[in-house]
Amino acid sequence: MLDRYVSTGGLPGTATVDRLVRAAYERFRDVADGAVSEVYPALAQVDPDAFGVCIAATDGRCFEAGDARRPFTIMSVAKPFVFALVAQAVGVEAVRQLVGVNATGLPFNSVQAVDQSEGGRTNPMVNPGAIATTSLTPGDSPDGRWQFLADGLSAFAGRELELDSGVLSSALATNHRNRALAALLTSVGGLAGDPAEAVDLYTKQSCLSVTAADLAMMGATLADGGVCPATQQRVVGADVARVTLAVMTIAGLYETSGDWLLDVGVPGKSGIGGGIVTVSPGKGALGTYGPRLDAAGNSVTGGLAARFLASSLGLDLLASQPVAPV
């Protein structure tokens, strides 16, 4: 069997990382561009000026500034981690065949994206593809399937995550678009099981309460080949972690994923709750919280911090430098 090689290298020294994380917070803390999400009524009630930054290294070190421990709902940042859990359980190819992996070039909740592809295949980072991914969750009952997701997402974070009941109630009462997407997927054979249950599970996973520090640790678990640096627990296999980073690179920032890759150079995933996770394989991950969103639904301050830190910390996978021969 051929040897497999992974990204190597690490973050700079502790003092340097700490200084740059604090610099990112100070540099972007007063940016007031964008607006908080109104997709669900409860999301519109958050403090628009909140901003937190956290770096988690694969060796377990954490560096944070600002509101890095302020809770918010994970929303779509759950998508890559649910994809990883389901792919680990049922196989990557089973998910790829049902859900698809290619970018749609359309908004995250687009009906057209389902209509234009055979079998409604999109990708796991947009709403229809994420609902289809969730429909593959293993378990003997809705409660069992939810426990699988809750336990797995908590394992990524290295601590037990809890539901935000207020946001969940708001989302369940107003998620008509997602229910329509699930019905459309069912009509073209793009969903496994009951569409109502799939949407309920998808909505619950989106309403888990996290912090920027949690997102950093979750991302660092992918960066470390599926092992959580906080607990040393293997959550998913290294091959599944790699595939998850691939689908994040393809569509983690929706229709602006190309701009993100050009500017930041590493896989990322955003959510309308204001979170972004940015992963540098072999090194660690950045978690940010900033609820003001741009037109594509991505955190403005989170994106600015990711671009700054990817460059200053050497996270960018595409910015190679020559190494002297050994």
Q: List the chain pLDDT tens, one digit each, 326 residues.
A: 344 434 557 888 899 999 999 999 999 999 999 999 988 888 889 999 999 999 999 999 999 999 999 999 999 999 999 999 999 999 999 999 999 999 998 888 888 999 998 899 999 999 999 999 999 999 999 999 999 999 999 999 999 999 999 999 999 998 999 999 999 999 999 999 999 999 999 999 999 999 999 999 999 999 999 999 999 999 999 999 999 999 999 999 988 999 999 999 999 999 999 999 999 999 999 999 999 999 988 999 999 999 999 989 989 888 855 544 54
Among left, alpha and beta (phi > 0; psi -120 to 50; other), residue 66 is left
Tell me if 70 sits within 8 A of 50, measured CB to CB.
yes
Tell me if 268 sits within 8 A of 258, measured CB to CB.
no
Per the structure, how many domains does the chain have?
Answer: 1
Tell me if 233 sits within 8 A of 155, measured CB to CB.
yes
Domain holding 99: CATH number? Answer: 3.40.710.10
Rounded to 5 degrees, φ, ψ at 197 are -65, -40
pLDDT of res. 323: 47
pLDDT of res. 324: 46
Q: Residue 265 sits in which domain range?
A: 14-312
pLDDT of res. 5: 39
**Residue at 7 is within a domain:** no
Tell me if 22 sits within 8 A of 66, measured CB to CB.
no
Handedness of CA 32, 175, 256, 279 (dihedral sign): positive
CA–CA dist 124, 127 (Å, integer)? 8
- Say which residue the tokens 């009524």 belong to: 41
pLDDT of res. 8: 55
**Residue at 103 is within a domain:** yes
**Residue at 323 is within a domain:** no
pLDDT of res. 2: 41
Among left, alpha and beta (phi > 0; psi -120 to 50; other), residue 131 is alpha
Q: Model's pTM, two decimal places?
A: 0.94
**Cα-Cα end-to-end distance for the chain:** 26
The sheet carrying 62-66 orders its strands as: 62-66, 52-57, 284-289, 275-280, 268-270
